[in-house]
């Protein structure tokens, strides 16, 4: 089915999608249900104002925003893809897996996400303890407050650090203290990309490798293709033309779908993550995803 009808991505120009004149779907967006700064209603208004034709909400490790986002998006006449971004680790690489069209009511998914959320909370506590020992005390309640009752991530710790004047920006907090290899770094729970693929597939979704251009060891990408990933996030603000060409070539060779999105986290989250629709896919690429979904056995 899908494979025979495949277009040749490798012949395509790796154009900057913003200038393509087409209405795009932005399939990588974070709300304040994870570490984004805007609520889903605000994101939908911005998406409609930006002329996007659809969005995917892909909060880290949570599906809590999917129902309200769907309602808002449908009211605004936007197409909506229920999504998630699972942060996993593989050897020395951080590997993020996007799941599209997952069932937000799937019980196995919800119970696994609940476990991950609890582990995140513990981890954030340990990071705050380490910072305290480094002479940078933080109030854990404040970190929780910044997380707004949603999932806790290092960005919330970083925001609390900026508030206390320990860093001038979140990125500095990561680079000096809480990033990998830094003194207050605490590894995340042990969750592998293979487990993420399994979780997404068992909840009816399609797994895409997020921002593969950020992965240093390219063999990790081939390994995930061998493990059965369905698609690659080709269009991404930090991907340059070389990355896009490479990824389109892989999609072509290994019969993968392609996706794209901005990784929007709201205003004030640092260059490149503040512009909704900065990257995305067009209607043709979206239709291919839908066709694949329709042809997929349950
Ligand atoms: P966590 O899942 O809690 O480990 O947090 C990971 C998130 O932190 C990523 O998804 C990014 O949103 C953010 N992040 C990672 N590295 C940096 C950095 N150097 N500067 C700013 N944000 C970062
Ligand atoms: Zn994030
Ligand atoms: Fe990511
Ligand atoms: Fe993301």
Q: Output the average pLDDT for the chain.
A: 92
Confidence (pLDDT) at 5: 40
Is the pLDDT assigned to residue 3 strictly greater than 70?
no
Confidence (pLDDT) at 2: 40
| pLDDT per residue as tens digits for the range 54-79 | 999 999 999 999 999 999 999 999 99
Percent of the chain with pLDDT over 70: 93
Confidence (pLDDT) at 149: 78
Confidence (pLDDT) at 27: 98
Q: Is the CB of 159 under 6 A from ligand 1?
A: no
Nearest to 234 by CA among 271, 226, 295, 254: 254
Confidence (pLDDT) at 151: 85
Nearest to 89 by CA among 273, 3, 206, 217: 217
Which residues does 99 contact at the CB level (< 8 Å), separation at least 6? 83, 84, 85, 86, 196, 199, 200, 203, 205, 206, 207, 208
Q: How confident is the model at residue 199 (pLDDT cuts 50, 70, 90)?
A: very high
Query: Separation of 29 CA from ligand 4 center, angstroms?
Result: 7
* Cα dihedral 167, 183, 187, 225 sign: positive
Query: Separation of 4 CA from ligand 4 center, angstroms?
Result: 32
Q: Is the CB of 35 under 6 A from ligand 1?
A: yes
- List strand residue ranges (DSSP E) for the chain, in order: 25-29, 54-57, 79-90, 93-100, 206-209, 231-235, 257-260
Query: Separation of 4 CA from ligand 2 center, angstroms?
Result: 36
Confidence (pLDDT) at 148: 87
* Lowest mean pLDDT across 2-16, 106-120, 126-140: 2-16
Confidence (pLDDT) at 1: 36
Q: Which ligand number lies closest to the CA of residue 178?
A: 1
Query: Separation of 168 CA from ligand 3 center, angstroms?
Result: 23
Take atom 20 of ligand 1 and give the residue whose Cα is closest: 171
| pLDDT per residue as tens digits for the range 186-196 | 988 889 999 99
Confidence (pLDDT) at 16: 47
Token reading at 88: 């996993």
The residue-averaged pLDDT of 143-158 equals 91
Confidence (pLDDT) at 12: 60
* Lowest mean pLDDT across 17-21, 72-76, 83-87: 17-21
271 against 26, higher pLDDT: 26
Q: Which of 33, 124, 174 to mutate to test the pocket of ligand 1 (most atoms within 8 A of CB)?
A: 174
Q: Contact at 8 Å (CB) between 210 and 193?
A: no
* Lowest mean pLDDT across 33-47, 124-138, 143-157, 210-224: 143-157
Confidence (pLDDT) at 297: 73
Confidence (pLDDT) at 194: 97
Q: Which ligand number lies closest to the CA of residue 261?
A: 4
pTM listed for this prediction:
0.88
Is the pLDDT assigned to residue 143 strictly greater than 60?
yes
Query: Separation of 51 CA from ligand 3 center, angstroms?
Result: 24
The residue-averaged pLDDT of 279-296 equals 94
- List strand residue ranges (DSSP E) for 62-210, in order: 79-90, 93-100, 206-209
Confidence (pLDDT) at 4: 41
What is the rounded distance in angstroms from the CA atom of residue 195 to the CA atom of residue 14?
Answer: 32
Q: How confident is the model at residue 9 (pLDDT cuts 50, 70, 90)?
A: low
Confidence (pLDDT) at 289: 97
């Amino acid at each position: 089915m899908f494979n025979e009808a495949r277009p040749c991505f490798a012949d395509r120009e790796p154009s900057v999608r913003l200038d393509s004149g087409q209405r795009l779907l932005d399939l990588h967006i974070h709300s304040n249900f994870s570490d984004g700064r805007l609520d889903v209603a605000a994101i939908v208004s911005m998406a409609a104002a930006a002329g996007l034709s659809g969005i995917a909400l892909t909060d880290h490790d949570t599906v809590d925003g999917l129902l309200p986002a769907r309602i808002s998006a449908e009211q605004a006449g936007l197409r909506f893809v229920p999504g998630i971004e699972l942060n996993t680790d593989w050897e020395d690489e951080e590997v993020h897996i996007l799941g599209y069209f997952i069932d937000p009511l799937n019980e196995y998914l919800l119970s696994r996400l609940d476990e991950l959320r609890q582990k995140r909370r513990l981890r954030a506590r340990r990071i705050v303890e380490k910072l305290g020992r480094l002479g940078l005390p933080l109030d854990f309640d404040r970190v929780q407050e910044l997380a707004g009752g949603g999932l806790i991530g290092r960005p919330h710790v970083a925001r609390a650090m900026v508030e206390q004047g320990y860093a001038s920006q979140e990125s500095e907090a990561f680079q000096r203290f809480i990033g990998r290899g830094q003194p207050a770094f605490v590894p995340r729970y042990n969750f592998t990309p293979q487990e993420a693929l399994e979780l997404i597939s068992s909840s009816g979704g399609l797994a895409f490798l997020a921002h593969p251009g950020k992965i240093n060891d390219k063999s990790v990408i081939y390994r995930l293709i061998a493990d059965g990933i369905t698609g690659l996030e080709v269009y991404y603000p930090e991907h340059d033309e070389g990355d896009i060409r490479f990824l389109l070539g892989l999609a072509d060779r290994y019969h993968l779908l392609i996706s794209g999105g901005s990784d929007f986290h709201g205003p004030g989250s640092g260059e490149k993550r503040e512009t909704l629709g900065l990257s995305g896919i067009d209607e043709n690429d979206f239709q291919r995803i839908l066709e694949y979904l329709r042809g997929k056995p349950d």
